[in-house]
Amino acid sequence: MKLSIVLSTQPAQFQAATFKGDLAANLARIAALGYDGVELAIRDPKLVSFDELERLVRQHNLIVPAIGTGQAWGEEGLSFTDADPTVRRAAIERVKSHVPGAARFNAIIIIGLLRGTLRVKPGVDHAQVMTWLVEALQECSAAAQPAGVRLALEPINRYETTLVNSAAQGLELIERVGAGNLGLLLDTFHMNIEEPSIEDSIRQTGGRIFHFHVADSNRWYPGAGHLDFRALLQTLFETGYAGFVSGEFMPMPDAATGAQKAIEHLRAKK
């Protein structure tokens, strides 16, 4: 099993970005704990020196399996489904601007809350919103395709968005988009809220799962809650999944302790 953990390259409000702050120190800590990779949360590629980032990541022999984009929503309010067309255009251009960095690391671009929430801007028709979402995903997938970059759409629980909560809704959406380089990111924290059976949903979306987030039921490190990681990881690998299992959980009791407990728990399961 290849394990990574989420690290934000700049300050962020998002609670489950496990590591934030000093980039070099955090990369050293993550590598020393035994992680194979680091998932980078990047609000805007313009704010990042990719030469420096690549130097640090390689220095610690880490892989970057995926790049998270959600802070552009969390910190700037960009979304694929905003009622304002200039905001929608800015969200699409922001995702496209991730393509060179993602290509450099051979990383997947994550589309989480950047799709929008609908709840924030009421008065917009749901069918219209889904059309905007499909068109945005088509444009971003097409822009990423020549660089060999893949995108992953993440179903997110109902308390964070009204758009695409379950794995089945995620599958339906990516099939509607119809791009081979667009798949799903499943997250055990959201699945515990939305899926009748986490294992059944993994089986039903198997083959289209590009990336996988782990947190326990309380969004602490795996092992801190009631999820059965042995069963769900076994099911995930039975689908032929060969990507990373990426820790995205709250830095509780602190980031380093959570990361250490997670790796101990997950390595013992597989």
- Site stretch for ligand LER (CB under 6 A), options 96-104, 121-129, 152-160, 203-211: 152-160
93 is catalytic: no
CB of 218 to ligand LER, least distance (A): 14
Interaction of residue 222 with ligand LER, rule CB under 6 A: no
CB of 161 to ligand LER, least distance (A): 8
Question: Number of residues in contact with ligand LER, rule: CB under 6 A?
Answer: 10
Q: Look up tokens 């020196």; give the residue.
A: 49
Number of H helices, E strands in the chain: 11, 8
248 is catalytic: yes
> Pattern of binders to ligand LER over 172-201, x per CB under 6 A?
---------------x--------------
The catalytic position among 39, 139, 154, 194 is 154
Q: Which amino acid is at 33?
A: L
Q: Look up tokens 């999944």; give the residue.
A: 241
Q: Name which of 88 and 213 has its Cβ closer to ligand LER.
A: 213
The catalytic position among 39, 139, 194, 248 is 248
**Within a 13 Å sphere around the CA of 141, how many CA atoms are in the beta-carbon half?**
21
Count of C-beta atoms within a 10 Å radius of residue 126: 11
Q: N- to C-terminal Cα distance for the chain?
A: 7
**DSSP letters spanning 173-211:** HHHHHT-TTEEEEEEHHHHHHH-S-HHHHHHHHTTSEEE
- Compute the C-alpha angle 16/6/27, nearest 5°: 130
Site for ligand LER in 50-79 (CB under 6 A): 68, 70
- Site stretch for ligand LER (CB under 6 A), options 75-83, 99-107, 153-161, 221-229: 153-161
